[in-house]
Amino acid sequence: MTRLVIDPNLAAFLDTLAYSEIGPKLLAKSDDGYNVIVGGTLFEGYEDHPRKLVDLPRLGIKSTAAGRYQLLSRYFDAYKDRLNLPDFSPESQDAIALQQIKECRAIDLIKGGRVDEAISRCARIWASLPGANYPGQHMQKIEVLRNAYAKAGGVFS
């Protein structure tokens, strides 16, 4: 697997998002989260988004979230076209996450080590981030995410 070459703080932030969305146990038993379907099952092959609709009765929702950043299939389709991506590979998943962070106007915050502000801006996309408004879904504590960011090599300002 070839990871995109990016700013170290951005790489640490991506790792933090994966930790937040997937958790350390699933990250460890998967392909670093890239092949995880919401609910904890794994998929094979990166030709396309797995497009599996999973019933999550505990949350009262159904979801197609998959991959390291738990991207819904409908958003994958839009970003695949917009970014001219070939597949749902780890590289494509990273490119989409970086585009989403950019759309949240958080890239410069992350590069500058202002992670709390970046998390706040990105909470509208990722349900596990503090301040996200996704009823019933688990939200991480900011302290947990700060620790994950630091362990991933991120630097704070």
* DSSP secondary structure string for all residues of 3-22: -----HHHHHHHHHHHHHHH
With respect to residue 95, please indicate whether it lies within any of the assigned structural domains. Answer: yes
With respect to residue 156, please indicate whether it lies within any of the assigned structural domains. Answer: no
pLDDT score of 1: 44
Neighbours of 126 (CB within 10 A): 23
111 is written with which tokens?
A: 């590069």
pLDDT score of 136: 72
Please state the domain count of the chain.
1
List the CATH number of the domain containing 90: 1.10.530.10
pTM over 0.75: yes
- β-pair partners for 61: 56
Inter-residue contact 50 to 66 (CB < 8 Å): yes
153 is written with which tokens?
A: 């090599």
With respect to residue 2, please indicate whether it lies within any of the assigned structural domains. Answer: no
With respect to residue 19, please indicate whether it lies within any of the assigned structural domains. Answer: yes
Which sequence positions are flagged as catalytic?
A: 21
pLDDT score of 126: 97
- β-pair partners for 62: 55
Write the burial class of residue 124 (CB in 10 Å: 0-12 exposed, 13-18 middle, 19+ buried): middle
Q: Largest Cα–Cα distance in the chain? A: 41
Inter-residue contact 129 to 144 (CB < 8 Å): no
pLDDT score of 2: 45
Inter-residue contact 84 to 50 (CB < 8 Å): no
pLDDT by residue for the chain (157 residues), tens only, comes to 445 668 999 999 999 999 999 999 999 999 999 999 999 999 999 999 999 999 999 888 999 999 999 999 999 999 999 999 999 999 999 999 999 999 999 999 999 999 999 999 999 999 999 999 887 778 999 999 999 999 999 999 9
